[in-house]
Amino acid sequence: MELKSLKKKYKSKGFAAGCSREVIERGAQQLGWDLEKLLTMTLQAMAASEDTINAEMAAEQEELGK
């Protein structure tokens, strides 16, 4: 996902509806970041973990299929 897309979705009330935008924004402030930096860092962390998560999911699906 691109930052531009995430920023657009973030504004939608339906996106991550169970999460408080206020808490997210306060967390960014506590880190000394603006919201854009928080979203960027989150996307980078998710991208860095993508291969591991996909491998774990594939292994779990394979195990369930046995």
In a domain, 27, yes or no: yes
Cβ atoms < 10 Å from Cβ of 6: 16
In a domain, 31, yes or no: yes
In a domain, 8, yes or no: no
Percent of the chain with pLDDT over 70: 98
Give the pTM: 0.75
In a domain, 11, yes or no: no
Cβ atoms < 10 Å from Cβ of 38: 16
Q: Give me the domain span that covers residue 41.
A: 20-65
Q: What is the domain count for the chain? A: 1
For residue range 19-49, what is the model confidence (pLDDT) as tens digits?
A: 999 999 999 999 999 999 999 999 999 999 9
Calculated CA dihedral for residues 42, 43, 48, 52, nearest 10 degrees: 90
